[in-house]
Amino acid sequence: MKKIAFVTGMTGQDGPYLAKHLLEHDYKVYGLVKRYSNPNLSNLAYLGIEDDVELITGDITDDANMNHLMKSLRPNEFYNLAAQSFVGASWELNKQTSEVNAIGVLNILNAIVGHNPTTKFYQASTSELYGNANTDGTQDENTPFHPRSPYGVSKLYAYWMTVNFRESYSLHASNGILFNHESPIRGKEFVTRKVTDGVARIKLGLAKKLTLGNLDARRDWGFAGDFVEAMYQMVQQDEAGDYVVCTGVQHSIRELLTHAFETARITDWEQYIESDPRFKRPAELHALHGSYAKAEKVLGWKPTTSFKDMVALMVNEDIKRLSHDLR
């Protein structure tokens, strides 16, 4: 009999990549989509799995709904990738961000304890937990947390609730502290995809300028297709735990722009960039740089896609999409 995996956040970026990975391991995959919505399944279609995932309507902020789904499906594994995940918007949407990212996780954990405590749980955590902690070195599992946004604070609640349920109820519950990870199906509200889409539009003559905020912000960016393997490996371990998932290499927005314009074969890219302070965060993080040493040692995981190759993939896919739309 196939193992059953339940994945939330199926219309985002990570859900489809994880679902594809699980299907390749012969799982029966259920995906949660919000009720009362017309879900955009283009990301599943991009990966060629839109007919292979069984979609279920629901909402993690509805505790009764989570109890019902856990009782009826009794999944072997539960991967929570649902979130209000845009950090910038979390300032204006702080209540919604908290309800989804914090209370939603509590609802899932309570449902697991109440109806199927053998379910292995994965919580998608984030490097935003660190804020500006230890910016002179690297962030790992022992670095103190100091979130600098409502998004980071909400994720910190979910992180510690996952740890406490693991310790109090002996749940197999793990946190993946994921640094930034991107792909061709990343939302355009995120700076990497905003850049690659913008560069593609400039290349095709559809735009003349690309407006951004802080070009000196630095991040540890990886490829989503690599990161879902780490999520899967955490859940396969005999003992649950918390792991940093990253590349260990830091890049600036300027480097992102350089690689993107190089891929599009556009020189002197500075002339196409405009800076707008509205795109800067109220509390900007200037440097995030992780260490995946624990994940490599315990899970046997390490990233395989370089930053330059990932940016090139994203730019080329955006050029392909836009070219198709022009036909």
State which amino acid sits at residue 194: K
Residue 37 has pLDDT above 80, yes or no: no
Active site residue 151: yes
- For tokens 């490097």, the residue is 127
Active site residue 128: yes
Mean pLDDT to the nearest integer, 113-138: 88
Q: With CA atoms as reference, report the closest residue to 226 among 49, 12, 30, 20.
A: 20
Q: What is the pLDDT of residue 277?
A: 65
Q: Can you tell me the distance from the alpha carbon of 51 to that of 161, in angstroms, rounded to the nearest whole number?
A: 34
Of 77, 97, 128, 247, which residue is the catalytic one?
A: 128
Q: What is the pLDDT of residue 285?
A: 54
pLDDT band with cut points at 50, 70 and 90 for residue 87: confident
- Whole-model pTM? 0.93
Tokens of 153: 């604070």
Q: Which domains does the chain have, with CATH numbers?
A: 4-181+222-245 (3.40.50.720), 187-219+249-288+305-326 (3.90.25.10)
Q: Can you tell me the distance from the alpha carbon of 82 to that of 58, in angstroms, rounded to the nearest whole number?
A: 11
**Measured between alpha carbons, how far is residue 167 from residues 79, 170, 175, 215 in Å?**
19, 6, 13, 42
pLDDT in tens, 129-165: 998 776 567 899 999 999 888 899 999 999 999 999 9
Tokens of 70: 């856990």
Of 17, 27, 151, 292, which residue is the catalytic one?
A: 151
CA atoms in the 13 A half-sphere facing the CB of 58: 25
Tokens of 16: 């489809």
Tokens of 258: 């350089």
Residue 35 has pLDDT above 80, yes or no: no
Q: Going by C-beta distance under 8 Å and a sequence separation of 6 or more, which residues neighbour residue 58? A: 32, 33, 34, 35, 65, 66, 69
Of 126, 138, 247, 305, which residue is the catalytic one?
A: 126
Residue 238 has pLDDT above 60, yes or no: yes
Question: What whole-number percentage of the chain has pLDDT above 90?
Answer: 79
